[in-house]
Every structure is written in C-alpha cells, then in structure tokens.
Structure 1
Amino acid sequence: MNNTRRKFITSIGMLAASSAFPISTFAFKKTSKLKVALVGTGIRGTTFWGKRLVDEYGEILEFVGLSDINSSRLKYAMKFIGADCPLFTDFEEMIQKTEPDLVIVTTKDSTHHEYIIKGLEMGCDVLTEKPLTTDESKCQEIIDAEKKSDKKLIVGFNYRWSPYATKIKELISNKTIGDLVSVDFHWYLNTYHGASYFRRWHGEMESSGSLWVHKSTHHFDLLNWWINSEPKEVFAYGDLEFYGKNGPQRGPNCRSCDHKSTCEFYWDITKDESMKKLYADHEHEDGYIRDNCLFRNEIDIYDKMSAQVKYADNTVVNYSLTTYSPFEGWRVSFNGTKGRIEASEDIPYHSVSTVSEAEKHALEMAQNNKEEEHFGSIVVHKLWEKHEVVKVPIEKGGHGGGDKRLHDKIFVNPETTDPYGRTAGIRDGAMSVLIGIGARRSIESGKAIKIGDLTDLEPKKIRS
C-alpha cells in the first residue's frame, strides 16, 4: 500500500460516528493517488463529483470504476467526466474488482442506503451526496452499519461553505446578537427550478421522500450548523395544490404532449444539449423520463410546506418552502437576546440582477462561473442602536462558492483548522434529514414529532 493510501485510511479511521470528521480526515501527497469509485451517473455525479474532481484534482486521485444501472449512460458519463476506468452495472462487482479507497454515492435518494451500507460492509470509506437517506428506518440502518464498520461515512453538504453562509455563522458564533431565541427561514423556488423537481423522480414520495428531504435537507443542515444545536421536535403542514393532479391539462411528457402551445411549463429537452445527452439519449434502457409532465397523477409529494422546529437549546425555527414562486431566493432572520440579524439572497426587490429566473439555477450549479465579484448585505440590528449593514462577497457559481471550497477542504487543505466547523459527518446528515422526515410524519399524523423517537440518536443541546 502506498503512503498516500495508508495515510488516508489511517486518518479517516479517526472519524467518530457521532460527529463530523476531523481536520485530518484526508491527507494526500502529489506522489500517489486516492482510488475513487462512483455509483450513480446523473447530473450531480457526472459534474460535481465527477468531471470537477478529474479536472481539479487529477494529480491526487483517480477514478477506478463507475457504476450505474444504465449502461448506455455509463459510457457517456465516462467520456464526459474524462475518466479512463472500467464500467459496471453491478455495484458489488465494481468494489470487488477495483478495491477503491473511497466510494461516492450519487444515486436516487431512496437507494442511497443500499450503496452506503454495502460500501461500508465491503471495506470502503463512503462519501454520499445529500440527502443521507429518505426515511427513519433507512437512517437507522446506515447508523448501525457505520457503527459496525471500521470505515466511515461523509455527507457532502456544500451550502455551509459559501462565504455568505459562513459570515452568518461568524456573526452568530460571536454572539453579535446575544443568545439565539428564534429563527425565520423561508426558501423560494421559482417556476423553472421548482418545477424541475416535479418533472423527475423527485416528485414521487417513494423515490425522494418529498422535498422535505431532498431539498430542505440543505436548509435544515444550515439551520443546525448556524444554531449550533440539534432539533428536538417538529410540527408541520403540507399539501399538494399546484402540481400533479391539480393541473388543468396533462400529457405523457413534454416532447409528446398535445398541449405544448398552451402550457406555460412546456420544456423542450431536445434543445438543452447537456440534458439530452445525459438523459434523453439513454432513456430507452431504464425508462427514466427527464421531461415528465408536471401534472401527472403519479406526483404525490407536497408543493407547499411549512414547519416549526424546536431545538434542544430551546431555539424555535419557523420554516417554509415555496415551490412555484415567481422568483428564486431566500430570506432568514435571527432573533437574539441582544438584537436581530437579517439576511437574504436573490430577492429581486432588494437588488438589480441581469440574470433571468430561467438561468438562475444553471448559474448556481455552474462550477466555473467567471462572473465579476459583487457584494451581498447582512443587516445587524442591536437593541437600542441603529442597524448596521455588513457587506459580504457573493459568488454565484457552485452553490455560492461552496462547492469548490468543500472540495478544496477535502482534497487540498485537509489539515487546515476550520474555525467554523463546516465539515459534515454522519450525525449532521442524519439530523438534517430527520427534520424533514419528522415534518412528513407530522403532516401524516397531525401531531408534533419528537426527533429522538425516529432513531436511536438523542438530540444534543450543543452540536459536537
């Protein structure tokens, strides 16, 4: 075993199952490479956890295998990523033949647990894309598997790493407004990005666990990290009132629909070259239709969501997710014993933007955005004082600049101390999805759900 792989295995073995992984989790040298295997070749797997790793870190890691149930897309993915490695439709065969150090899981949410658990059992450290999983039973299975294994699990949260989110964390941690009392957090998906979830498998509860899990896990993780405590109880409302069966008209999918000329949501996937090459060209093999009708009857997730979350430190959060807003953006306000912090991004009434609503999500996901630097504002208003406006550099590409900072931390600067504690482990992943799972259970039962009743993880007053 070469020095880099030995150092990698030794350092990641230090990871405690109940906390985020330590500063020294990864430590690579330029003289040898980490062996990486990827399962799931959708857009997140091929771009952020695929092509970007090859382009930016090719000197310190190499893909030794790619796996997917769709062999046609696998061949395209290998070329797009720029990898030169064997392809597998059987995950276990890939692990047995390639013996990777690290397995990256970017499959459909409802199958994350299968590959996480099997990867750990077969002697690999695992990095999974968010969300960790889709229900409490699968979450417990993952927790149990990691405890039994001498390998560890990492969750790839990226929003924590944006300069804007980090500045909010700094202000709260410094007690700028005293002790936190309550938080209001509202996220708005526009009719381009929001609608896209309902076109895909994300629109079906069995596959995604609903947007409470798939999308809101990002937001709940930010809240857990900002507040520095863990959720204790959640009560939620939710319904499906816009998409799915509520639509005035429907068809098989956009390409073959009779309502193309009258549907405001019509999307021609054949004119989106990247989506056509990644999905439409390979749908004959697994039947995955990327441009499904937004109003098909199979949609059963919620399109309006609101929750109240009580934390172990007694902070109370009011949260909502809107899936068909005229604009894409978010607002958050923190109330403390000494004042209030207000922050927001992409609210069109607060600033002038040259980016259209249709382009916003593509720009956010872009990994090599060259947009000129500009600044966002965070308002700090202390009791009995005038408010102060704090200017923070804003980046649009790669989730507000979070993507590249997360990768650099993992692969380039693993031993650099991070005063903000942005690296996420299994407990972080679990606590974020358990809020969403609890919200779903609350809607189903009409009752408040205690987070500690969902798995054997007992919420902590202060995050470790």
Structure 2
Amino acid sequence: MLAAGTAVQAAAPLSFSFMGRKLKVALVGTGVRGTSFWGKRLVEVYSDSLEFVGLCDINPGRLAYAKKYMGVKCDTYTDFDTMIGENKPDLVIVTTTDATHHEYIIRGLELGCDVLTEKPLTTDEVKCQQILDAERKYDRKVIVGFNYRWSPYNTKVKELLQKGTIGKVTSVDFHWYLNTHHGASYFRRWHGQREMGGTLWVHKSTHHFDLLNWWLDSDPYEVFAYGDLERYGSANDFRGNNCRDCAHTANCEFHWDITKSKRDMALYVNNEKHDGYVRDNCLFRDQINIYDKMSAQVKYANNVVVNYSLTTYSPFEGWRVAFNGTEGRIEAWLDIPYHQKEVLSQEELHALEMSQGGKEVAKYEPVVVHKIWNKHETIQVPYERGGHGGGDKRLHDKIFKNPGAKDPFDRAAGVRDGAMSILIGVAARKSIESGEPIRIAELTDLEPRAKRLI
C-alpha cells in the first residue's frame, strides 16, 4: 500500500494482497465494456484468482442481463453503498458513464477499496482534483485501464525511443482517424454530449495522449487547440428520433440497424424503459455538443512539441505517428489501407479490434527507423488484430495473473497517468473556448515534470 500523501506521485503498482483467497471484485456500470472486457472475460480467464461479489447499475434490466451474460452468481444492486457494505470487495471496477467515474472512484476509496477505472479517469479538472485528493486521503490505489500501452506494436515504439534510437526526441506528428462506422457511433451514444463524456478530447483522445506521455516519458506543459462540429449534430439538414424510427432511413448514409445485433437489443433496447437511454440515437440530433474535428499543439515539459489531430468521419480507421529526433526519425502506423492489401470491411476491422479472441501472432506490421546520414531500416513487429492489438489480454494478465512482475517499459498506469492524459483534453477544450494556450499546471495541483514519475 502506498504511503498517504504520495499516491499520486507514481503509477500505482498493480499488486493486491490476496491473503490466501480469491480477489473479491465488484463492478459498477454494466454497459458493453463493463460486461465484456471487465466482466465476462475476467470470469472466463481468471476465475481461479478472482470472484465477482456484486454488480451495480442504475438500470435493473441491464443488471439482470449482465448477471446472465457474465455467468456470475453474485447479487445485483442499484445502490453502490449497499453493494460495498454487504460484500466488502477488495477491488471496485468502474465502467459507468465518464462524467460519473469520479463519484464511484472517490466513494470506493472512502469505503476502503482499491479502484480500477476505465479510461478516461474523469471529464474535467475539478473532478480530477477531487480524485487526486481522495487517493491521498484514503491511502488506497487507483488504476486506470490503459490497454494501448500493452500492445506489442506500441511497446516496440516505446522500446526504440527508450533506447535513444533517434537521439533526443524534439517533435512528434500524431494523427488518428476514426471511420464512419466507429467514429459515428460516438455521436449516437451518450458520448455525443459533453456533459456526459467531456467531448472526444477526453473520452477518446485520452488513449492517444496517454500513449504520447508514456512514449515521451514526460508530462504535458501547455496546449493550444482548434475544434468544431461540422459533420454530425445540427450541421446536418435532417434528423429523426432514432435509427429504428426515422423517416430518412432511405437517404441517410449513416443509418444503423440495431435490431441486427442480439447483444445490443438485449442489453440496451430491451431496457430503455428503465432509464430512457437510447443506444441508436440520431447522429444529427440537436443535443450533440461535442467536436467532430480536432487539432492541437502540445508542448511538453521536456520541450518536445506535438502536433495532434483526431478525425471522426474518415473513410478508414487507423493512425500515424512520426518522431523527429536529433539523430533521426521513427515512423509508425496501423491500418492505413494504402499501405496494405486489407480485405476486411471497416466494420469488421473494428469488431476484431474490440474482440477478446484471436491468434497469438496474427501478422507483422512495420516500424521505420531512419537515422540521419543513413538509409532507412524497416522493422517488422508482431501484431495481433484482436483485443486492441493484443493489449487487452496483456493488461489483464498484469493485473490479475502476474501483478508483481517487473516491467521494463513501465506500462502500469496510476492516477497521475490518468490525470495527465485527460488534462491535455481538458486544456484543449478550454483553449478552443478561450482562443488562448492553456497551461497544465493551471488545472490541478499536479506540477508537470520533464521526466514522468513512475
């Protein structure tokens, strides 16, 4: 256990005191991510070391579905405190809507539990500070489930940078492309409202900013950003109630038939009556108030400058990153269709990424290293399609199978990591609104450091 007052100074170690018994786990938030990645998969793979002692959600219908889908025998609750009081879990897993993460993280800490939260840590600087204060006060651990760090492909990039392959890194170009299947889906869901998800600067880009912080081994210092809503929401000239009940189905290129998904029907549609949440909302409803194009410049405490962008309506899903250094350049990319002969549809590619199965090594992908005054070298890196590039299962193994194993790449993510990733997104929002650069140190009491604390 970390000493009081120091918990945010380093990434929380992923270790628990099992005390000769199974780890007692409680889950709050039984949506698709909670019931699958943090639910069913844990039951199927780690039941020898953990057991679910409670499931909690505001929607009793989803709770009933979750219990059956996950294959657990624990009780279900609509009241969080009652669940914790009756079961005394060791670990609480938080997979609720982003804007409520802080409530369950803080209350879990108060009630004596360690907490593992889905990304993002939270949605604004005020809630972030409350979490930081609570972890210090209650002397428990907060872990953030950053799975992208654990992908072998991303780890190879980290290894090359860590070895000083291109000398001192000076600047980075990082661009992420969401396709019209995956990107559009955020605007159908609660993520399309900033009061729920903090905009995609926070909900989605927290993944990318965490990778940058980890790759560069430094904290962000200042952010300047642009953003707008031009493709979805009120930018369109027609809209409907939802995709099941819409007069524009024939001429809407984004129409999505949720009735074709048995899981979505059972988890969401059949339980709308309990809380009113509609999973196949119209992409063009007036309530959407987030950005669909985003661009930022991030200056780091070690003087690296990053140019970042996120596109939500690309014809393909993928990303590119390039690191410029004093001794050369590293380029990496995934799923750029012009570089490969991909036969899968964009919808199939996303389904495979989110799946938890797949072969140990599905293919190889290149990373290019180009040293100054030399020819470039192409390194072929083993790459797995399923489970976020193989990151999901490695993150799970670290937490629930090999918690004490040393990691030369420091992939364990604690509350400071979670904070620094969302604060870039929060600063970007504030920069767009004010037209001014925003310093990270102005947001919470965390002081950016040239070298990350681990």
Moved more, 139-148 or 10-19: 10-19
User: Offset at 1:191?
Assistant: 0.1
Letter in 2 for 1:262: N
Letter in 1 for 2:169: L
2:173 to 177, 184, 189: 184
CA distance in structure 2 between the aligned counterparts of 1:242 and 1:256, rounded to whole angstroms: 21
- The equivalent residue for 2:16 is 26
Letter in 1 for 2:178: L
CA distance in structure 1 between the aligned counterparts of 2:143 and 2:363, rounded to whole angstroms: 32
Is 1:43 the counterpart of 2:47 in the alignment?
no
- The equivalent residue for 1:133 is 122
User: Offset at 1:26?
Assistant: 3.2
Gaps of 5+ in 2: none
CA distance in structure 2 between the aligned counterparts of 1:15 and 1:35, rounded to whole angstroms: 26
The 5 A counterparts of 1:376-415 are 376-415=365-404
Contact 1:127 1:154 in 2 (8 A): yes
Q: Deviations over 1:112-145 (max 9, x none)?
A: 0000011101111111000000000000011111
- The equivalent residue for 1:424 is 413
The 5 A counterparts of 1:152-171 are 152-171=141-160
CA distance in structure 1 between the aligned counterparts of 2:187 and 2:256, rounded to whole angstroms: 13
CA distance in structure 2 between the aligned counterparts of 1:280 and 1:148, rounded to whole angstroms: 41
Moved more, 412-421 or 339-348: 412-421
The 5 A counterparts of 1:33-432 are 33-370=22-359, 373-432=362-421
CA distance in structure 2 between the aligned counterparts of 1:21 and 1:99, rounded to whole angstroms: 21
CA distance in structure 1 between the aligned counterparts of 2:412 and 2:132, rounded to whole angstroms: 18
Q: TM-score, normalised by structure 1?
A: 0.96
CA distance in structure 2 between the aligned counterparts of 1:309 and 1:269, rounded to whole angstroms: 38
Taking structure 1 as reference, are residues 27 and 346 closer, same or farther at Cα in structure 2, changes over 3 Å only? farther
Q: TM-score, normalised by structure 2?
A: 0.98
Taking structure 1 as reference, are residues 460 and 126 closer, same or farther at Cα in structure 2, changes over 3 Å only? same
- The equivalent residue for 1:456 is 445
CA distance in structure 2 between the aligned counterparts of 1:274 and 1:355, rounded to whole angstroms: 22
Percent of aligned positions that are identical: 67
Runs of 4 or more consecutive aligned structure 1 residues displaced over 6 Å after TM superposition: 11-15
- The equivalent residue for 1:17 is 8
User: Offset at 1:370?
Assistant: 3.9
Contact 1:310 1:316 in 2 (8 A): yes
CA distance in structure 2 between the aligned counterparts of 1:357 and 1:27, rounded to whole angstroms: 43
CA RMSD of aligned residues (A): 1.4
Contact 2:2 2:139 in 1 (8 A): no
CA distance in structure 2 between the aligned counterparts of 1:104 and 1:75, rounded to whole angstroms: 18
Contact 2:170 2:324 in 1 (8 A): yes
User: Offset at 1:82?
Assistant: 1.1
Gaps of 5+ in 1: 1-9
Secondary structure in structure 1 of the residue aligned to 2:249 = coil
Taking structure 1 as reference, are residues 15 and 46 closer, same or farther at Cα in structure 2, changes over 3 Å only? farther
- How many residues align? The count is 453
User: Offset at 1:13?
Assistant: 8.9
Q: Deviations over 1:46-104 (max 9, x none)?
A: 00100010000001100000000000110000111111101000011111111101000
CA distance in structure 2 between the aligned counterparts of 1:62 and 1:12, rounded to whole angstroms: 28
Secondary structure in structure 1 of the residue aligned to 2:382 = strand
CA distance in structure 2 between the aligned counterparts of 1:422 and 1:371, rounded to whole angstroms: 20
User: Offset at 1:432?
Assistant: 0.0
